[in-house]
């Protein structure tokens, strides 16, 4: 038993002796001190994975005054803007943006990245030849009376509040359909100039139709305003939020068949054409707005079916 122990000790000693030490000699090797596992410094965190996606803005649409774009922000973007207007980014970085009727020739898309970097992409916005009518008469003098404004101010507040609601609808992703068919009796952007003084331009698209003719939602959305009493100018008014800050308004209805908070689908009837409010005859006035920018409905639809 003692011989076995001696032999084992000799074998262990030989295994620990450097190869350069000759048999029969003894090498003294100092041990290497290692800290206990509890004293080891924490391992550095693994590097964050590179965000997946494009390295710049990708978009397509109608790059013109009153037009729009849909696209995707650069990978790693935590916020984005078109000019001074903030964009809403979904979980995949997709967005909707648009250009006002009076937009300048260029706009800038900008994204702030997770690492603090900023990416900017210039966008060329083509001008439009609006229908401008010059008339040799003076613009009507005076403004709204205080009695009228006492009624009007609460209406404007309700409209502004409705347009500020974000319901999370994804109707903005759809190709829009015509809410009704008929003769186009008024075009977006048209304007009169009275002896050099411009009047207000037409903010929507007018579709002539008989009183009581049904009209439908042009895209999915949520009803954020359904006037229970006619507004002074708009009459029976419906506003639908399509998400991402985009909303549709429908004026002068003879009847509203939806309620506030109701989700509607593209093609679903929401009202009937009328002449309520300030209207010279039965027609549907359809307007589109994105974060204060007024848009041309004709640029959202295909040919009228």
The domain that holds 186 is classified in CATH as 2.70.70.10
119 in the same domain as 143: no
CB 265 within 8 A of CB 220: yes
111 in the same domain as 181: no
Going from the C-alpha of 298 to that of each of 51, 65, 203, the distances in angstroms are 37, 12, 12
140 in the same domain as 282: yes
Host domain of residue 200: 132-299
Task: Note whether residue 47 is domain-resident.
Answer: no
Task: Note whether residue 209 is domain-resident.
Answer: yes
**Domain endpoint, select from 78, 94, 124:** 124
Task: Note whether residue 103 is domain-resident.
Answer: yes
Please report the pLDDT score of residue 11 as a whole number.
42
Please report the pLDDT score of residue 69 as a whole number.
98
Task: Note whether residue 283 is domain-resident.
Answer: yes
pTM above threshold 0.85: no
CA separation for the pair 109, 122 (Å, rounded):
6
The CATH number given to whatever domain includes residue 76 is: 2.60.40
Please report the pLDDT score of residue 12 as a whole number.
39
155 in the same domain as 241: yes
227 in the same domain as 154: yes
Please report the pLDDT score of residue 55 as a whole number.
93
Going from the C-alpha of 303 to that of each of 88, 99, 175, 213, the distances in angstroms are 29, 22, 12, 20
Of all helices (H) and strands (E), which one includes residue 16? helix 2-16
Task: Note whether residue 305 is domain-resident.
Answer: no
Strand bridging mode 184-186 / 205-208: antiparallel
Please report the pLDDT score of residue 248 as a whole number.
98
213 in the same domain as 88: no
183 in the same domain as 260: yes
Please report the pLDDT score of residue 261 as a whole number.
98
Task: Note whether residue 44 is domain-resident.
Answer: no
137 in the same domain as 285: yes
pLDDT beneath 70, residues of the chain: 1-41, 47-52, 142, 305
Task: Note whether residue 304 is domain-resident.
Answer: no
152 in the same domain as 105: no
236 in the same domain as 138: yes
From the number of C-beta atoms within 10 Å of its C-beta (0-12, 13-18, 19+), residue 194 rates as: middle
103 in the same domain as 75: yes
221 in the same domain as 92: no
**Domain endpoint, select from 124, 147, 164:** 124
Domain count, the chain: 3
Task: Note whether residue 53 is domain-resident.
Answer: no
């Amino acid at each position: 038993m003692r011989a076995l122990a001696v032999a084992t000790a000799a074998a262990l000693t030989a295994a620990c002796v450097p190869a350069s030490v000759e048999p029969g000699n003894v090498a003294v090797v100092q041990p290497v001190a290692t800290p206990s596992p509890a004293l080891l410094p924490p391992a550095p965190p693994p590097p964050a994975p590179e965000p997946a996606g494009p390295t710049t803005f990708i978009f397509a649409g109608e790059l013109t005054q009153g037009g729009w774009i849909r696209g995707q922000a650069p990978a790693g973007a935590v916020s984005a803007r078109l000019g001074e207007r903030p964009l809403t980014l979904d979980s995949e970085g997709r967005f909707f943006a648009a250009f006002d009727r009076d937009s300048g020739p260029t706009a800038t898309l900008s994204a702030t990245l997770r690492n603090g970097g900023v990416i900017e992409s210039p966008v060329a916005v083509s001008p439009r030849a609006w229908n401008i009518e010059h008339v040799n008469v003076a613009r009507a003098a005076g403004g709204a009376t205080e009695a009228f404004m006492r009624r009007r101010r609460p209406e404007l507040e309700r409209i502004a509040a409705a347009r500020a609601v974000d319901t999370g609808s994804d109707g903005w992703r759809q190709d829009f359909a015509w809410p009704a068919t008929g003769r186009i009796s008024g075009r977006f952007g048209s304007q009169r100039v009275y002896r050099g003084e411009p009047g207000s331009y037409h903010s929507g698209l007018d579709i002539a139709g008989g009183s009581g003719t049904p009209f439908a939602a042009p895209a999915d959305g949520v009803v954020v305003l359904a006037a229970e009493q006619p507004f002074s100018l708009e009459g029976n008014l419906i506003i639908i939020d399509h998400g991402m800050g985009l909303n549709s308004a429908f004026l002068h209805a003879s009847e509203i068949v939806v309620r506030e908070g109701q989700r509607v689908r593209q093609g679903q009837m929401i009202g009937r054409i009328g002449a309520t409010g300030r209207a010279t005859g039965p027609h549907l006035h359809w307007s589109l707005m994105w974060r204060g920018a007024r848009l041309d409905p004709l640029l959202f639809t295909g040919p009228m079916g």
